């Protein structure tokens, strides 16, 4: 352990990691390495962890010319000069990030700043990298000198494997990761998301903190365990752990008053003091218990979010920029929902579409109760939002990810289409959102052999279309049916339309049917999911609106 203790203040370190357990690591198979990392095989031995990090980072595929330890020795004096390392200014791209000390001694704390400045000199293309101080401070623990730590950091930054994403280095990548995290929270932490919506004016601002929770607030022993697995499995691990942190925050704080008026500060405080409520082992156990989407699906969502930001011209950090554009009260008018209710709906939709403003496409009050006019005003828009108010004052609706023109693919047959981002919801008398049944209960997909079983028997004459291929320029490639290993007859059953009716179904056993005159509708409800019906089984429509998304 002597060769790796130069920068460590051992009085501050957990006694457990000072173990002299003479373990060695000889495995090279990914699956075995993955299990050992998750189990914390090298977590109790400082020297062994250093050797494992060295091996894992050396195996990262990098650019042909990647700065190494010798480069650091050549440039450090020229860049730092005679300035005191403790007062060195950090480059702008770290965005005033926390520089965690992680039980480093005074020499180590100063070395972190020196290394970051030298990294900035060698990587002029980095424009935004708030995780860098934390990663550097952590790796310094497991390096024999500054030059070795510099080389480790450079190899992580210079990774050129397109399938192995490690650290965000541009604002576009960072912001799209925040949006992706928001989308994942919306899917996997609905109770916590509901709390965020209730107490925060800007949900994305809260979720933009997700990397800070990990690379800044999380104590040393926790982030080291996360980093163990991150080096083996990649970026997806970070999403998992951040989701687990949010779940624990909601569980521990449920029913308790917020410690401050700022939910961001409350979450940061919880993460800093996480040792009071959760062990590192329990945190990782929770993280890996989440049945997260595949790496490929997450990459698709990330790409879609990046594309949405680029189309909005949001590629660099700007002062006082609110990326998450809430529904503008002065420009919004609906006969069905209030501004607040529309903002609640906006908090449910995928983050890349929440960048847009609502645009009224069709309303029965202005365009009449014609299904043909409904189609003509709605087609060409993707996604759309359907809102319905009944004569009994019930309010429900659906987020529909696919253009209504897709209905023509089935010819004269009534055929289903749509993606897993579709959902139905109720606003009055109570607020409730219903996920697509196959996503929330994937085991049902394998047991359903006929389309009529999926929609509670009410659509027994329906036939399912083949899955359409999505054009590459769509903003909604994520969660299309082809990304799920599902039977074709159940894979895309969410929305359907013909000249005679509209059917929207699948949300936790809920299905909505609208007649051609757009005056009457009915619902079906599957008791399997123990949910309240979307609205009355049979109802009369008072007002129906269709909203699009305007840049």
Q: Supply the pLDDT for residue 384.
A: 95
Write out pLDDT tens, residues 17-60: 555 564 677 777 888 889 999 999 898 888 899 999 999 999 99
Q: Supply the pLDDT for residue 260.
A: 63
Q: Which helix (H) or strand (E) holds 550?
A: strand 538-550
- Taking 70 as the pLDDT cut, the residues of the chain under it are 1-2, 15-23, 255, 257-260, 317-326, 435-493, 506-509, 525-532
Write out pLDDT tens, residues 462-486: 333 333 333 333 333 334 433 333 3
CA angle 332, 335, 337 (to 5 degrees): 70
Asked if residue 97 lies in contact with residue 133, where contact means CB atoms within 8 angstroms, the answer is yes
Domain boundaries, the chain: 10-158, 171-312, 339-444+485-550
Q: Supply the pLDDT for residue 84.
A: 85
Q: Supply the pLDDT for residue 244.
A: 97
Q: Which residues contact 262 (CB under 8 A, 6 or more apart)?
A: none
Indicate the Cα dihedral angle 97, 102, 106, 112, nearest 10°.
-50
Asked if residue 480 lies in contact with residue 427, where contact means CB atoms within 8 angstroms, the answer is no
Class of the CATH domain delimited by 171-312 = mainly alpha
Token pair of 377 as six digits: 């005003």
Asked if residue 271 lies in contact with residue 278, where contact means CB atoms within 8 angstroms, the answer is no
Q: Which long-range contacts does 478-481 make (Cβ < 8 Å, 24+ apart)?
A: 478/297, 478/300, 478/301, 478/304, 478/350, 478/419, 478/421, 479/293, 479/297, 479/301, 479/401, 479/419, 479/420, 479/421, 479/439, 480/419, 480/420, 481/419, 481/420
């Amino acid at each position: 352990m002597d060769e790796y203790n130069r920068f460590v203040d051992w009085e501050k370190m957990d006694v457990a990691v000072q173990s002299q357990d003479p373990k060695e690591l000889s495995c090279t198979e990914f699956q075995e390495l993955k299990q050992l990392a998750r189990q914390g095989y090298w977590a109790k031995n400082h020297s062994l962890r250093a050797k494992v990090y060295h091996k894992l980072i050396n195996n990262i595929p990098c650019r042909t010319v990647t700065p190494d330890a010798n480069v650091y020795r050549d440039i450090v004096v020229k860049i730092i000069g005679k300035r005191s390392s403790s007062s060195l200014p950090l480059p702008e791209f770290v965005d005033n990030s926390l520089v965690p000390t992680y039980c480093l001694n005074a020499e180590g704390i100063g070395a972190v700043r020196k290394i970051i400045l030298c990294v900035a000199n060698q990587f002029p293309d980095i424009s935004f990298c708030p995780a860098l101080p934390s990663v550097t401070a952590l790796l310094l623990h497991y390096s024999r000198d500054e030059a070795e730590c510099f080389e480790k950091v450079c190899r992580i930054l210079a990774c050129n494997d397109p399938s192995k994403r490690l650290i965000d280095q541009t604002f576009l990548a960072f912001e799209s990761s925040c949006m992706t995290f928001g989308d994942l929270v919306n899917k996997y932490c609905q109770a916590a998301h509901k709390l965020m919506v209730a107490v925060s004016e800007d949900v994305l601002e809260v979720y933009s903190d997700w990397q800070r929770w990990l690379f800044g607030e999380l104590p040393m022993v926790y982030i080291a365990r996360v980093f163990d697995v991150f080096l083996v499995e990649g970026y997806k691990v970070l999403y998992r752990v951040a989701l687990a942190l949010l779940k624990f925050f909601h569980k521990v704080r449920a029913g308790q008053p917020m410690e401050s008026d700022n939910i961001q500060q409350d979450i940061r405080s919880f993460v800093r003091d996480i040792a009071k409520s959760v062990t590192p082992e329990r945190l990782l156990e929770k993280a890996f218990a989440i049945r997260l989407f595949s790496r490929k699906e997450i990459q698709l969502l990330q790409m879609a979010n990046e594309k949405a930001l680029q189309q909005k011209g949001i590629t660099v950090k700007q002062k006082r920029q609110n990326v998450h554009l809430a529904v503008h009260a002065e420009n919004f008018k609906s006969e069905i929902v209030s501004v607040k209710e529309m903002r609640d709906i906006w908090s449910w939709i995928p983050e890349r579409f929440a960048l847009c403003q609502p645009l009224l496409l069709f309303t029965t009050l202005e365009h009449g109760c014609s299904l043909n006019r409904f189609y003509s005003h709605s087609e060409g828009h993707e996604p759309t939002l359907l809102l319905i108010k009944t004569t009994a004052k019930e309010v429900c609706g659906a987020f529909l990810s696919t253009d209504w023109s897709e209905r023509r693919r089935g010819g004269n047959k009534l055929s289903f289409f749509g993606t897993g981002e579709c959902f139905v919801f109720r606003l009055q008398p109570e607020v409730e959102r219903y996920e697509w049944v196959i996503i929330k209960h994937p085991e049902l997909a394998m047991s359903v052999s006929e389309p009529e079983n999926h929609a509670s028997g009410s659509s027994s004459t329906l036939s399912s279309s083949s899955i359409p291929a999505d054009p590459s320029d769509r903003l909604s490639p994520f969660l299309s049916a082809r990304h799920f290993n599902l039977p074709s007859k159940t894979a895309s059953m969410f929305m359907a339309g013909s000249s005679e009716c509209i059917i929207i179904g699948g949300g936790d056993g809920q299905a909505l049917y609208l007649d051609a005159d757009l005056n009457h509708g009915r619902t079906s409800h599957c008791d399997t999911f123990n949910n309240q019906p979307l609205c009355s089984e049979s109802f009369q429509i008072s007002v129906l609106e269709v909203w699009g998304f305007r840049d």
